[in-house]
Structures are given as C-alpha cells and as structure tokens.
Amino acid sequence: MFTNSTKSRPAPIRAVIIDLDGTMLDTLPDFHVAINAMRGQFGYAPITREKIALMIGKGSENLIRAVLALDNDAAGVEQRFDDAMAFYQGHYLAINGDHSALYDGVIDGLEAMQADGLRLACVTNKPIAFATPLLAQKGLAPYFEVVYGGDSLPRKKPDPMPLLQVCADFELAPAQVVAIGDSSNDAEAARAAGCFVLTEPYGYNHGRAIHETDSDGIVTSLVEASMLIRSHNNDAH
C-alpha cells in the first residue's frame, strides 16, 4: 500500500497519528450548538450545521473569524473577536461531547491497531482544553500515548510540526508513521512531515471531496485502515 522510493522493501509502520473531529467523532452537532449560542449573544440569527461544516477543521480562531465574517466586515470581525471567542469557548466547554458521536468502527479499529503493536497519537486542531475531556468522555483516551491540540505547539496542521513532534516523541522516522484524517489539513501536514497518510470520506474537509486530496488511500473506517497497515507490514517483513 505505502511506497518508499528509497528502498526496495517498504519500511514497516510503527505508529499511527489520528485526527479527532470528522475522523473519530462527528462533533458537528456540538459546534452547531456552541456557535449558535455565541451568535445569540450578539443578536445574530442561527446558522445551519451545513454552513458550520464548511468552516471547521482549521482551529478555533479560524472558525470564529469565519462565523463573525457572516455578519461583519474585516474591522468588525477583529473588534468582536475576543468577546466571540470567550463566549464560544464557554458554551463549547459546557456541552463538549454531549451531542457528538463516535463513527462506526473507531473502537474496533483502535483495538486492532493496538493489538498489532502500533503506537497511537491523536493530533487535532481542536484546543487541548476541549480535546482532552472529549477523548476521555468518549472512551478514547486510554488508546493514545500522546495527544496534541491545536494550541499545544507553536503551529498546527496543515503545518507538519505536530506530526514531527509525535515522530520525535516515539523516536521514529516519519516513514514509519501514518496519519489518518478527514481533510486536506491532515494530508498536507503528513506530506510535509514525510509521513504516510490515509483519508476518510465521511468527515468535513471544508466542503471539498476528499478524493481531491493527495493521500496514500481512502479508507471507510479505522478498521479498514488497520487492515491496510497490517497488510503493508506483512509485506515489509
């Protein structure tokens, strides 16, 4: 599955970096509730889930600016940004995870990866204060040795920094690591880091088809991803 042009035999995959929103959890309902609660504090009309889906995935700052831009010019966005961020964070923390749900195959996929001896990290652009309790609430926290949020490091995806940090944490070369995500952010970060990447078609991806994104394959679940990684590793031995 994964090709390495520098070696006749592919390097085995030793670790997997997995995105959170749109990859393991459908968190769009949480965003919908928190964003519209924030908008209500400004007297703005509610917006649809579909509109919010186009805005998420690049971090909270980008999300809040995009939401404010629906009702404000650039100066108005900046004028209201700090209050909007504070309102949004308060609302989101109050309902974090209450309306979100695991995608099919997530737990089975994680267990299969662990059973195959793969080390697991979660890298998300969600603020770490949101990501950590959400992983715990949904029973995902025990699977991950390392978790990085969008504010854990100086740069977030699509910058490769978080993925390279995981490689350093695990003392692995990027060619021994595969990232799994639902958006171009995940794929671009993985490509820049030198990791392999698998993409899932059911997430958000800023309104674009995942088939437009450069990846090493599209998988319909983490179970399918675990099977592909296992097949690759069998070929590598």
d(CA 114, CA 219): 18
Pick the catalytic residue from 19, 30, 186, 216.
19
Residue 30 labeled ligand binder: no
Residue 21 labeled ligand binder: yes
Pair of tokens at residue 140 = 């995902």
* Closest to 170 measured CA to CA, from 24, 6, 32, 13: 13
Pair of tokens at residue 80 = 């209201």
Residue 216 labeled ligand binder: no
Count of residues for the chain?
237
d(CA 55, CA 51): 7
Strands of 177-181's sheet in order across: 146-148, 119-123, 15-18, 177-181, 196-199
d(CA 93, CA 166): 26
Is 19 among the catalytic positions?
yes
CB-based contacts of 228, cutoff 8 Å, min separation 6: 1, 198, 217, 219
d(CA 197, CA 178): 5
Pair of tokens at residue 64 = 């809040």
d(CA 11, CA 152): 29
* Closest to 161 measured CA to CA, from 198, 184, 195, 209: 195
Residue ranges for the binding site for Mg(2+)? 19, 21, 182
Show binding-site residues: 19, 21, 182
Point out the residues that are catalytic: 19
